[in-house]
């Protein structure tokens, strides 16, 4: 597996930025777009909410949370990898990976941000960074060797990227 496809700086920032910040998440119902089954969990006093399901071989996930955060991840297939981190309040992150060799790195900071990513196929890579308030992103990758990098820092924005071919590349910067 080629970890070098997901920029190491982005993964380091995602993990390092959470150390000194308190976190909280509000679980808006992402089920219509994410198809992860029942509504996302409510927080009703729970310090952490994380649902992780793994099937297959060699799948890896690292999630960093403190405060009242929420993340959901489903990994199936082989050798899929994900790093998920959040800082701020009322943020939510959901990921579904199937196939093989898919990579995902995400970091959210601010308030009321949502990120949903679905990867299927093989050797797809996605890096999503949202810093600000009331942002949303949806990434769908169904091909092979597709790559997307998203950086949002404009409050109140939303975007959707769908890649269904092979070898597609996209970079989105919203400032």
Domains in the chain: boundaries: 60-173
Cα distance between residue 32 and residue 5, in whole Å: 30
- Which structure tokens are listed for 138? 């949806």
Q: What is the pTM of this model?
A: 0.75
Is 94:113 a contact under the CB 8 Å cutoff? no
* Count of CA atoms in the C-beta half-sphere (13 A) of 66: 7
Mean pLDDT of 4-32: 35
* Angle at CA of residue 86, ends 81 and 89, nearest 5°: 155
Cα distance between residue 66 and residue 87, in whole Å: 8
- pLDDT at 44 exceeding the cut of 60: no
Q: What is the pLDDT of residue 66?
A: 64
- Quick one: CA torsion of 55, 26, 138, 135, rounded to 10 degrees? -150
Q: What is the pLDDT of residue 111?
A: 83
pLDDT band at 150, cuts 50/70/90? very high
Q: What is the mean pLDDT of the chain?
A: 78
Cα distance between residue 150 and residue 141, in whole Å: 14
């Amino acid at each position: 597996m080629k970890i070098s496809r997901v920029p190491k700086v982005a993964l380091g920032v995602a993990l390092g930025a959470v150390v000194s910040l308190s976190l909280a998440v509000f679980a808006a119902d992402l089920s219509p777009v994410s198809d992860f089954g029942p509504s996302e969990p409510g927080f009703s006093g729970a310090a952490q909410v994380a649902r992780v399901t793994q099937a297959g071989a060699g799948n890896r996930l690292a999630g960093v949370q403190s405060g009242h955060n929420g993340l959901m991840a489903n990994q199936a297939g082989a050798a899929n990898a994900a790093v998920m981190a959040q800082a701020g309040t009322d943020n939510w992150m959901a990921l579904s990976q199937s196939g093989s060799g898919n990579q995902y790195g995400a970091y959210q900071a601010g308030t009321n941000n949502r990120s949903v990513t679905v990867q299927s196929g093989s050797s797809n890579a996605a890096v999503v960074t949202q810093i600000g308030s009331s942002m949303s992103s949806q990434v769908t990758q169904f091909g092979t060797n597709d790559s997307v990098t998203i950086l949002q820092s404009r409050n109140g924005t939303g975007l959707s990227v769908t890649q269904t071919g092979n070898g597609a590349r996209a970079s989105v910067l919203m400032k």
